[in-house]
């Protein structure tokens, strides 16, 4: 795409179950459906639209001139593949609660898994490695060379990767946390002169009691995300 002055565009590093869908819809209040990726014209395969980098690139070629917000589940590195500057945003969530919310949501939305315990779903390799294990660290640090399966790809978690994730957070234009989403949205609107509309009613998954042992297991597995979240909440995030 060419032009002497690029319009302002936003790339949301949309972590699963952190309020990213609400953020996308608030941005949609300002930009309208044509300005959002994905929208209904990018279907009917919604999971392809929100997960496939190749599909995003195809849709960008088709209608990138009108897109102002990219808000699928794409790692930060994908912004660099689109060839235009972006204002970059993300919202994080306390990792144990994020993981439990993901597991509840998956069970509610997946008929074949209605009968399974959250522990069983968590143990499935695709769910664990692709969507649960240190998910926020992965979304901030994946490289283009690691994008063979998009967000679902497996990566190795090390202290060095955690340091890279913290550096990536510092490089974003705006960082929030899910429990203080409205102050984040207010600051986003103020800083970039956006009309993001009123707060939205958010449907949440039904609470399910889990054991302390399972919570401890999730915390141990997600040591990097816990350190990352604590770092963001204490020093970077809009509160």
| pLDDT tens digits for range 108-123 | 999 999 999 999 999 9
| 206 pLDDT more than 80 | no
> How high is the pLDDT of residue 2?
47
- Residue 135 has phi, psi (to 5 degrees) of -60, -40
Mean pLDDT, range 141-164, rounded to an integer: 95
The residue behind tokens 């994008």 is: 147
Average of per-residue pLDDT values in the chain: 94
Q: Give me the percent of the chain exceeding a pLDDT of 90.
A: 90
> How high is the pLDDT of residue 150?
87
Strands 69-70 and 10-13: parallel
Residues 6+ apart with CB under 8 A from 72: 14, 37, 38, 49, 50, 51, 56
> How high is the pLDDT of residue 1?
45
Please give the model's pTM, rounded to 2 decimal places.
0.94
* H/E element, 83: none
> How high is the pLDDT of residue 201?
72
What is the phi-psi region of residue 197: left when phi exceeds 0, alpha when psi lies from -120 to 50, beta otherwise?
Answer: left
Distance CA 122, CA 144 (A): 27
In which band, very low, low, confident or very high, does the pLDDT at 5 lie, cut at 50, 70 and 90?
confident
Per the CB < 8 A criterion, the answer to whether 98 and 115 are in contact is no
Give tens-digit pLDDT for 93-103. Answer: 999 999 999 99
Distance CA 47, CA 74 (A): 12
Mean pLDDT, range 22-46, rounded to an integer: 94
Mean pLDDT, range 81-107, rounded to an integer: 97
Could you tell me which of 81, 220, 222, 229 has the C-alpha nearest to residue 142?
Answer: 81
> How high is the pLDDT of residue 97?
96
| 218 pLDDT more than 70 | yes
In which band, very low, low, confident or very high, does the pLDDT at 207 lie, cut at 50, 70 and 90?
confident
| 58 pLDDT more than 90 | yes
Could you tell me which of 26, 81, 71, 18 has the C-alpha nearest to residue 49?
Answer: 71
CATH, domain 10-235, list 3.50.50.60, 3.40.50.300, 3.40.50.1860, 1.10.730.10: 3.40.50.300
């Amino acid at each position: 795409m060419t032009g002497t002055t690029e319009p302002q565009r936003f790339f949301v590093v949309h972590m699963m179950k952190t309020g990213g869908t609400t953020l996308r819809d608030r941005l949609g209040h300002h930009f309208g459906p044509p300005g959002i990726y994905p929208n209904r014209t990018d279907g009917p395969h919604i999971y392809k639209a929100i997960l496939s980098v190749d599909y995003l690139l195809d849709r960008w070629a088709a209608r990138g001139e009108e897109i102002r917000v990219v808000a699928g589940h794409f790692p930060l590195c994908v912004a660099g593949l689109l060839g235009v500057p972006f204002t970059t945003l993300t919202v994080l969530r306390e990792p144990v609660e994020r993981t439990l919310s993901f597991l509840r949501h998956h069970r509610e939305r997946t008929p074949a898994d209605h009968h399974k315990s959250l522990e069983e779903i968590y143990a499935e390799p695709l769910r664990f490695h692709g969507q649960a294990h240190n998910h926020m660290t992965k979304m901030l640090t994946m490289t283009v060379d690691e994008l063979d399966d998009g967000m679902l790809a497996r990566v190795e978690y090390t202290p060095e990767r955690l340091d890279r994730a913290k550096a990536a957070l510092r490089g974003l234009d705006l960082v929030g946390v899910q429990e203080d989403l409205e102050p984040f949205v207010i600051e986003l609107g103020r800083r970039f002169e956006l009309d993001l509309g009123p707060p939205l009613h958010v449907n949440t998954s039904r609470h399910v009691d889990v054991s302390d042992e399972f919570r401890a297991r999730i915390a141990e597995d997600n040591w990097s995300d816990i350190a990352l979240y604590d770092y963001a909440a204490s020093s970077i995030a809009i509160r």
